[in-house]
Amino acid sequence: MKQIISLATVLVLINTQLIAQQPATPDKIYGALFHEIQMQKVYPDGKTFVDCLPKRKPSDIMYDYGLMKGPSFDVKKFAEANFIMPVAPQLNYITQEKNVEEHIKNLWSVLKRDADQPKEGSSLIPLPNPYIVPGGRFREIYYWDSYFTMLGLKESGETAIIESMIKNFAYLVDTYGHIPNGNRTYYVSRSQPPFFAMMVELLASIKGSTAYTTFLPQLEKEYNYWMEGATKTTVGKTYKRVVRLKDGTVLNRYWDESNLPRQESYREDVETAEAAAMELASRIRMSSPEALNKLLEEKRKTIYHHLRAGAASGWDFSSRWFADGKTIATIQTTAIAPVDLNCLLYKMEMVIATAKQLKKDAAGAALFKKKATIRAAAINKYCWSKQLGFYTDYNFETRQQILQITAAGAFPFFVFETNNAVLKLQAKQAAAVIKEHLLKDGGILTTTIKTGQQWDAPNGWAPLQWVTITAMERFGQNVFAKDIATRWINLNTAVYQRTGKLMEKYNVVDIHLDAGGGEYPSQDGFGWTNGVLLALIKKYGAQ
C-alpha cells in the first residue's frame, strides 16, 4: 500500500511540474535578435516573426547572429536567410460560389488543420486532434473564437471536428491547467473568455448528455484556474483572476501572468508603454534620476500587464478598458470586473452543476448551483446600472460602475435563467438601450465610442451579434432579435458579394465601408463570422 501511495504521489508531482513548465517563447529563444527584428519592423506585422519556422537549429542561428552582429549587420537579410515565413493558406483559395452558405461549407476544409507534428523552434503548440483556425494571420486555434465557429460547424453537420476541437481544449487544460489564448507558446500566460462550458453544452445538444460527464474533469480544472486563490484572498484584495470586494463578494477579472510586451505585438506594446511613461514623467518632478527611472519602468510594466489582460479579454483593444475612455495609454484592464467574464463563469458553474447531477453527485451539483446563484446576485448588485438601465463593468479600485454602454451588457440575458420577473423587466429596459445606442444599419455596435481601436465604434463583431440576438430571444424580444439578425446577415452577404470574402469584423454604421482600427489590418477567412452567419441564416433565412 505504501508503494502504491508513493507512486501516486510521484505521478501527481510530475503532473504538477508539467503544468508549471511554460514552453519557451520566441523572445526567450532568440533574445536580442527577437528584439531587433520586432523593433526594426522587419515584418510589417509583429505576429509574423513569432510564427516563423527556423530553417535550422535556433542555437545555430543565434551563434551566427552573435558572430555577424555589428555596424553593417543587415537584420532583414539575416531574417530572410534563416526563417521561413508563415503562409495564410486561404489566400490560395479562389472564391467561386455565388451562395454564401455554400462558400462557408467549402471553406471549412481550407481552415481545417490536421493533428500537429512538433517542429523544433516553432511557437506552435502541437494539438492531438484536427481543428479549425479563424483565418488570415490567425493560423492557430483560438479559445473563444472556436465556440462561435462551432455554431456553423454544427449547421454544416461537422460534428466530428467539433468534438475534436473540444478534445484539444481538454488536452490543453490537462497540460497547462487552463486553456491558453491560442495554441502558441506566447499565448500560454493567459486564457480568453471561458466558453469551454458552452462548447460542452453544444456538443451535448448534438450527441447527448454524456458530453457533460466526459469533460467534467476538465471543466473543474478550468474552474479552479479561474478561481485560484479565492478561498485565501482577503477582503478588499485581489489574487490573479480573483477579486474579493469590500463586502466579501468574489468576482473575477482578466489576467496575464507576464508584465512584458506581448511577443506578437512587441513594438506596439513598447510604444504604448513608452507613451504612458512619458506622460507620467511630464506630470511629476523627482530630484533623483534613479528614482524617476525606476518609477517609469514600473509604469511600463504595469501598462504591459494591462495590455496583456486586455488581450485575455478578447476585446483587444477597446475604450472599455481605458481610464479616460479614449486613449490606450490609460489602459486599466486588471482594475475591472467585467460583466461578460463573470456571466461566463456563472454559466460554467451551472454546466458543472449539470454534469455533477448526471454523475449522481447531488451534493456537488447543489454546491455549484449555489455558487452560480451567489455570482448572479453579485453581477446584479455590481453590474446592473439603474442609471443606464443596462449592465456594465465594475471598477473595483474606484468602487464605481463604468457608465459606458457596450455589447458586453447583453451577456446576463445570454446566460441567466429566464424565469425571473425582475430580469424580464430589465431585459425590456436593455432592449430599449440597445435600440437607442448600439443598433445600426449593419447590426450591433461593440461600443458607442470611436477611438480607432477595433473593438469600438463603428465596428461590429460576429460573437457579439450572436450573444445579443440570443439574449433578446431568450427574454421574449423576438422581433427585435430578428431585426438585428437580418441587418447582420444582409451586411455580411453584401460584403461577400462585393469582395468574395467573409471578414473578421464589419463596419455596422456605414455598411459600404470596411471595418478597421487596431494593431493589424482586418483579416478574412473567417472562423467565427462563418459560424455565426451560417447559424443565423439557418434560423432566420437568407435575407
d(CA 51, CA 36): 16
Amino acid at 148: F
Residues 6+ apart with CB under 8 A from 16: none
d(CA 241, CA 229): 9
Q: Of 145, 256, 456, 504, which is the active-site residue?
A: 504
d(CA 179, CA 183): 9
Residues 82 and 56 sit within 8 Å (Cβ to Cβ): yes
**Other Cβ atoms within 10 Å of 165 Cβ, number:** 24
Residue with cell 471595418: 515
Is 397 assigned a catalytic role? no
Residues 6+ apart with CB under 8 A from 445: 407, 437, 438, 439, 457, 458, 459, 460, 508, 509
Q: Of 256, 316, 340, 519, which is the active-site residue?
A: 316
Q: DSSP per residue over 208-246, as a string?
A: -THHHHHTHHHHHHHHHHHTTTTTTPPTT-EETTEEE-T
Residues 407 and 447 sit within 8 Å (Cβ to Cβ): yes
Is 504 assigned a catalytic role? yes
Is residue 280 classed exposed, middle or buried when 0-12, 13-18 and 19+ CB atoms within 10 A define those classes?
A: middle
d(CA 3, CA 62): 46
- Tell me the three cell numbers of residue 448: 458607442
Q: What is the CA radius of gyration of the chain?
A: 23
Length of the chain counted residue by residue = 543
Asked whether the bond before 317 is cis by omega within 30 degrees of 0, the reply is: yes
- Which residues are 507's β-sheet partners? 459
Amino acid at 359: K
Catalytic residues: 316, 504
